Chains A and B, each alone.
Chain A
Amino acid sequence: MTSPLDVTGSAAEAQPESVLAGVDQEKIEGRSLGQIAWIRFKRDKVAMAGGIVVVCLVLLAVLAKPIEGIFGLDPNAFHQELIDPVLLKPKGSFGGISWAHPLGVEPQYGRDLLARIIEGSWVSLAVAFGATILSVTIGTVLGVAAGYYGGWVDTVISRLMDIFLAFPLLLFAIALSASLQGGAFGLHGLTLHISVLIFVIGFFSWPYMGRIIRGQTLSLREREFVDAARSMGAHGHYILFKELLPNLVAPIIVYSTLLIPTNILFEAGLSFLGVGIQPPQASWGGMLNQSISLYQADPWFMVVPGLAIFITVLAFNLLGDGLRDALDPRSN
Chain B
Amino acid sequence: MTAYIVRRVIAAIFLLIAVTMITFGIFFLVPRLAGETSTQLAAQYVGRDPSPEALAAVEKNLGFDQPIYQQWWEFAHGIVAGRTFRYGPDASVCHVPCFGYSFKSHLPVWPEIVSRLPVTISLAAGAAVIWVVTGVAIGVLSALKRGSVFDRLSMGLALAGVSLPIFFTALLSLALFSYKWPIFPNLQYVPLTQDPLLWAKNLVLPWVTLAFLYSALYARLTRAGMLETMSEDYIRTARAKGLPERQVVVRHGLRAALTPIITIFGLDLGLLLGGAVLTETAFSLPGVGQYAVEAITDNDLPQILAVTTLAAFFIVAANLVVDVLYVAVDPRVRYK
Residues of A within 8 A of B (CB): 162-163, 165-172, 174-176, 178-180, 182-184, 261, 265, 268-269, 272-275, 285, 288, 291-292, 295-296, 299, 302-303, 305-306, 309-310, 313-314, 317-318, 321
Does B160 lie within 8 Å of A171, measured CB to CB?
no
Interface centre among A175, A178, A296 (most CB of B within 10 A): A175
19 contacts between A and B (CB under 8 A): A163-B15, A168-B275, A171-B274, A171-B307, A171-B311, A172-B23, A179-B27, A179-B31, A272-B165, A272-B278, A274-B297, A275-B296, A288-B165, A292-B171, A292-B282, A306-B172, A309-B168, A313-B163, A318-B159
Does B277 lie within 8 Å of A273, measured CB to CB?
yes
Question: B267 to chain A: which residues have CB within 8 Å?
Answer: 165
Q: Interface readout for B153-190 with A: 1 if CB under 8 Å, 0 if not?
A: 00000011011111110011011000110000000000
- Say yes or no: A310-B168 contact (C-beta < 8 A), given A168-B308, A182-B34: yes
Question: B160 to chain A: which residues have CB within 8 Å?
Answer: 310, 314
Closest-by-CB residue of A relative to B271 is A168
* Segment among B73-81, B98-106, B312-320 that sits at the interface with chain A: B312-320
Closest-by-CB residue of B relative to A172 is B308
- Say yes or no: A168-B274 contact (C-beta < 8 A), given A175-B304, A295-B174: yes
Question: B296 to chain A: which residues have CB within 8 Å?
Answer: 174-175, 178-179, 275
The secondary structure that dominates the B interface is: helix
In the bound complex, CA of A282 to CA of B124 (Å): 32
Is B325 located at the chain interface by the 8 A CB criterion?
no
Is B293 located at the chain interface by the 8 A CB criterion?
yes
Question: A291 to chain B: which residues have CB within 8 Å?
Answer: 171
Question: A179 to chain B: which residues have CB within 8 Å?
Answer: 27, 30-31, 34, 296, 299
Closest-by-CB residue of A relative to B26 is A176
In the bound complex, CA of A272 to CA of B27 (Å): 23
Selected from A169, A183, A302, the residue in CB contact (under 8 A) with B168 is A302
Smallest Cβ distance from A28 to chain B, in angstroms?
32
Smallest Cβ distance from A192 to chain B, in angstroms?
11
Closest-by-CB residue of A relative to B11 is A162
Does B299 lie within 8 Å of A174, measured CB to CB?
no
Closest-by-CB residue of B relative to A266 is B165
Smallest Cβ distance from A277 to chain B, in angstroms?
15
Does B277 lie within 8 Å of A288, measured CB to CB?
no
Is B35 located at the chain interface by the 8 A CB criterion?
yes
Selected from B16, B33, B282, B315, the residue in CB contact (under 8 A) with A168 is B315
Question: B278 to chain A: which residues have CB within 8 Å?
Answer: 170, 269, 272-273
Q: Interface readout for B9-29 with A: 1 if CB under 8 Å, 0 if not?
A: 000000110110011001100
Smallest Cβ distance from A213 to chain B, in angstroms?
19
Q: Interface readout for B135-151 with A: 1 if CB under 8 Å, 0 if not?
A: 00000000000000000
In the bound complex, CA of A28 to CA of B180 (Å): 65
- Say yes or no: A306-B168 contact (C-beta < 8 A), given A176-B26, A182-B34, A273-B293: yes
- Say yes or no: A178-B159 contact (C-beta < 8 A), given A166-B316, A168-B312, A269-B167: no
Does B163 lie within 8 Å of A261, measured CB to CB?
yes
Is B292 located at the chain interface by the 8 A CB criterion?
yes
Query: Which 10 pairs from chain A and chain B are nearest by CB?
Result: A168-B311, A306-B168, A314-B163, A313-B163, A178-B296, A168-B274, A179-B30, A299-B175, A295-B175, A182-B34
Smallest Cβ distance from A63 to chain B, in angstroms?
24
In the bound complex, CA of A286 to CA of B118 (Å): 29
Question: B15 to chain A: which residues have CB within 8 Å?
Answer: 162-163, 166
